Chains A and B, each alone.
Chain A
Amino acid sequence: MWEMAKQRDAYGKALVELGRERDDIVVVGADLCGSCRVTKFGDEFPERMFNTGIAEQNMTGVSAGLALSGKTVFSSTFAVFATGRAYDQVRQSIAYPKLDVKIVSTHAGITVGGDGASHQMLEDIALMRVLPNMKVVAPADYHESRKATFAVSEEEGPFYLRMGRSSVPIVTEEDDPFEIGESSLLKEGSDVTLIGTGIMVSECLKAAEILDKQEDIDARVLNMSTIKPLDEKSIVDSAKETGGIVTAEEHVVSQGMGSGIAQVLSESDYHVPMKRVGVPNVFGESGESDELMEKYGLTAEHIVESAHDVLERR
């Protein structure tokens, strides 16, 4: 029903356009430039594209040095290496001095598929959202990935921008507004709120349709494309107006977006029933993306089930 496209394709295209607009944009990669779709930028601006080889720690430090010299740096590799392999470098060399480096990862999450657990990064949101000065954005689809690329370039300071490997449904419109720190309302509803981020936004929309058609439950759907800072107002308003929250993310349920939302709600005046959909605190395995989403609890059906749980506890 939805058109499908890869987030990283939008990123690669947007980068080239950014490169044309601004000559202070530089790109650093670590041998996965093709996979991350940054080679097109390198083709057009070879002098502004640097490849460190398989050396993510150095990639991160070189990015810091470029940013300290006035550049806006896009540093791209797979999520597992960008945030895991180089965590201390991200902390010390980028977040602490609050440098203008955009860490844009691709191949985040379990939908990496066949590569298995070694490459299925499910802890990156946790690692990045806990870092002072770091902002975290997870676009829902192709259009948002493009807009997020431009948006992070316009706001000075460190960002973590999270994208996947696979083609994902296009659930937003090309001319929808996109603001860092603001969620978007994709479907109005009054019985329960489904809050998704990244590729789980489309699963939330599917879940809302199932709830509506089969059970006459009117679910609101929010796209939480910025995970840090969270759009606290929309979260609290939704709790107040719908009385129950389900969150959904392609990430371990502990310490992800859902955890952040739980923290917001626990300190608000609206302690409504809540359920977090995500991968349990386990490593993934090889398989097809859709098989893995099914096995690890990331489908619309899991969201529907969680909505029932929330409604029963109300």
Chain B
Amino acid sequence: MPALEESKVNELEEIARRVRVHIVKSTHEAGSGHPGGSLSAADILTALYFEIMDHKPDEPDWPKRDRLVLSKGHAAPALYGVLAEAGYFPIEELMTLRKLGSRLQGHPHVRTTPGVDASTGSLGQGLSIASGMALAAKLDRESYRVFAICGDGEIQSGQIWEAAMFASHNKLDNLIVFLDRNKLQIDGSTEEVMSIEPIISKWNSFGWHVLEINGHDIDQIVDAVNRAEEVHGEPTIIVSHTIKGKGVPFMEGSLAFHGKAANEEQLETALKALGEKDGGDE
């Protein structure tokens, strides 16, 4: 049985589409950034902020809010797009991404951007931060949940496994991690650069509850979190199969757009593919 009504799915898919437009336009305007890994995480972030998480855009520091640590901090354009859509700051502000004086730093910074819960960007660190937050929730007997999004290449980092051990040892069942399994990192495919498979049995053996979904299927994303909610005494990782550059055909599965923005011509093609005939209204 689907977790969501079809109309709800359609609504969320439309938000995710707009987020993709923001990603492509804001990185183009900045002249740099990471569109590929932002586009692969866009559906997960949209589902989190528009369906799953309990949060208040008019009170970003609300103590009881659910938290999100974007451990793959280079997907900041996706997070900013979702936060702007949710009302944390004006959508026009997205065009200041990476510019001098902007609140939207190249990688998320908790001190500058309303709605950002942790400073990330140096890969491998976010899962530890999220674990500390989940631990604090337990300590304070608060019911808020902590979500994290890790890149697949990111789990090559040793600190991820330090945190993986820590979270299961401390039974952090209020911690839910999405692994954005887009199969590419900056130097090539993850399996060529440094193989991370078998992912499922690795996390299982570290004491985690492991789920596997299509990370572009909004209903599956919401359903996976519902299932994670029923798990007690173990953190959950949702291995989310995604496509780098998803939604922009010439960026899909492309290494070239891991860390490069679209040029003028590419932007036009991308916006057309995303259903923005007039080039958008930003």
- Please pick, from A58, A89, A96, the residue contacting B166 in the complex, using a CB distance under 8 A: A58
Binds B, one of A67-75, A268-276, A285-293: A67-75
Q: B104-138 vs A: 1/0 string, CB under 8 Å? A: 00000111000001111110111111111111110
Given A58-B159, A62-B166; A93-B129 close (CB under 8 Å): yes
Contact partners of B126 in chain A: CB under 8 A: 61
The interface centre, meaning the residue of A66, A69, A70 with most chain B CB atoms within 10 A of its CB, is: A69
Minimum Cβ distance to chain A for residue B157 (Å): 9
Minimum Cβ distance to chain A for residue B79 (Å): 16
Given A68-B117, A68-B118; A93-B125 close (CB under 8 Å): yes
Contact partners of B109 in chain A: CB under 8 A: 96-97
Given A61-B159, A64-B118, A98-B111; A52-B136 close (CB under 8 Å): no
Minimum Cβ distance to chain A for residue B212 (Å): 25
**Does A189 count as interface, using CB distance less than 8 angstroms?**
no
How far apart sit A233 and B282, CA to CA, in the bound complex (Å)?
Answer: 53
- Are B122 and A65 in contact, CB atoms less than 8 angstroms apart? no
How far apart sit A68 and B134, CA to CA, in the bound complex (Å)?
Answer: 11
* Chain A residues bordering chain B, tally (CB within 8 A): 29
- Are A70 and B63 in contact, CB atoms less than 8 angstroms apart? yes
Given A55-B165, A58-B166, A93-B119; A66-B125 close (CB under 8 Å): no
**Does B158 count as interface, using CB distance less than 8 angstroms?**
yes
How far apart sit A62 and B135, CA to CA, in the bound complex (Å)?
Answer: 8
Chain A residues 45 to 97 lying within 8 A of chain B, measured CB to CB, are 47-48, 50, 52-53, 55, 57-58, 60-71, 88-89, 91-93, 96-97
- Please pick, from B69, B139, B163, the residue contacting A58 in the complex, using a CB distance under 8 A: B163
How far apart sit A92 and B126, CA to CA, in the bound complex (Å)?
Answer: 10
**Does A26 count as interface, using CB distance less than 8 angstroms?**
yes
Minimum Cβ distance to chain B for residue A37 (Å): 22
**Does B51 count as interface, using CB distance less than 8 angstroms?**
no
Contact partners of B69 in chain A: CB under 8 A: 65
Which residue of A is nearest B159, CB measured? A57
Chain B residues 35 to 76 lying within 8 A of chain A, measured CB to CB, are 63, 69
The interface centre, meaning the residue of B110, B111, B128 with most chain A CB atoms within 10 A of its CB, is: B128
Chain A residues 5 to 50 lying within 8 A of chain B, measured CB to CB, are 26, 47-48, 50
Minimum Cβ distance to chain A for residue B191 (Å): 25
Q: B129-173 vs A: 1/0 string, CB under 8 Å? A: 111111111011000000000000000001100110110001000
Contact partners of A70 in chain B: CB under 8 A: 63, 136, 140
* Chain B residues bordering chain A, tally (CB within 8 A): 34
Instruction: Say whether chain A's binding surface is mostly helix, strand, loop, or mixed.
Output: helix
Contact partners of A88 in chain B: CB under 8 A: 122, 125
- Please pick, from B121, B124, B133, the residue contacting A65 in the complex, using a CB distance under 8 A: B133
- Are B110 and A97 in contact, CB atoms less than 8 angstroms apart? yes
- Are A66 and B135 in contact, CB atoms less than 8 angstroms apart? yes
- Are B111 and A66 in contact, CB atoms less than 8 angstroms apart? no
Which residue of B is nearest A67, CB measured? B132
The interface centre, meaning the residue of B110, B133, B159 with most chain A CB atoms within 10 A of its CB, is: B159
How far apart sit A68 and B63, CA to CA, in the bound complex (Å)?
Answer: 10
- Are A96 and B119 in contact, CB atoms less than 8 angstroms apart? yes
Q: B168-184 vs A: 1/0 string, CB under 8 Å? A: 00100000000000000
Contact partners of A65 in chain B: CB under 8 A: 69, 118, 128-136
- Are A69 and B118 in contact, CB atoms less than 8 angstroms apart? no
Contact partners of A52 in chain B: CB under 8 A: 162, 166
Chain A residues 129 to 185 lying within 8 A of chain B, measured CB to CB, are none
How far apart sit A63 and B136, CA to CA, in the bound complex (Å)?
Answer: 10
How far apart sit A98 and B110, CA to CA, in the bound complex (Å)?
Answer: 9
Contact partners of B119 in chain A: CB under 8 A: 92-93, 96-97
A residues within 8 Å of B by Cβ?
26, 47-48, 50, 52-53, 55, 57-58, 60-71, 88-89, 91-93, 96-98
What are 11 A-B residue pairs whose CB atoms fall within 8 Å in the complex?
A: A58-B128, A58-B131, A58-B163, A62-B129, A63-B132, A64-B129, A65-B118, A65-B128, A67-B132, A89-B159, A92-B122
